[in-house]
């Protein structure tokens, strides 16, 4: 997995999102996948590879996401950033 100052890059990205008061973020690690190289990355119960795909889902309005991207984009050397509009059907939060 990509790293930033010795720790996983996804942790740095989540820190930036939190410090900038983004509504929410969740990191998901894939159990199987491949990318540009077509090399399979897989996890087994005995071996959780750091080489597995990671997705960071961010919840926020479009303007705030566009404003935070210049802080995140330079950190990502290998990866993909996508932005999707969603329709929120229900939102309820009691705190984390």
Specify if 20 maps to a domain: yes
Specify if 88 maps to a domain: no
pLDDT tens profile 5-15: 999 999 999 99
Q: With 0-12 CB in 10 A as exposed, 13-18 as middle and 19+ as buried, what is 93?
A: exposed
CA distance 85 to 37: 29
pLDDT tens profile 31-73: 777 777 888 777 665 455 666 788 999 999 999 999 999 999 9
CATH number for 22: 3.30.70.120
Structural domain boundaries, residue 56 = 3-75
Residue 63: how many CB atoms within 10 A of its CB? Answer: 8
Specify if 92 maps to a domain: no
Task: Please name the residues in contact with 59: beta carbons below 8 A apart, sequence gap of 6 or more.
Answer: 22, 23, 24, 25
Specify if 30 maps to a domain: yes
Q: How many domains does the chain have?
A: 1
Specify if 86 maps to a domain: no
Mean pLDDT of the chain: 86
* Residue 96 pLDDT: 60
Helix (H, G, I), strand (E, B) or coil at 3: strand
Specify if 95 maps to a domain: no
Q: Of residues 17 and 38, which shows the higher confidence score?
A: 17
């Amino acid at each position: 997995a990509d790293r930033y100052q010795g720790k996983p890059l996804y942790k740095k990205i989540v820190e930036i999102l939190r410090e900038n008061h983004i509504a929410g973020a969740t990191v998901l690690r894939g159990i199987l996948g491949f990318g540009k190289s077509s090399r399979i990355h897989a996890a087994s119960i005995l071996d959780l590879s750091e080489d597995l795909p990671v997705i960071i889902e961010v919840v926020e309005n479009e303007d705030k996401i566009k404003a935070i991207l210049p802080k995140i984009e330079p950190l990502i050397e290998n990866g993909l950033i996508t932005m999707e509009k969603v329709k929120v059907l229900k939102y309820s939060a009691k705190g984390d």
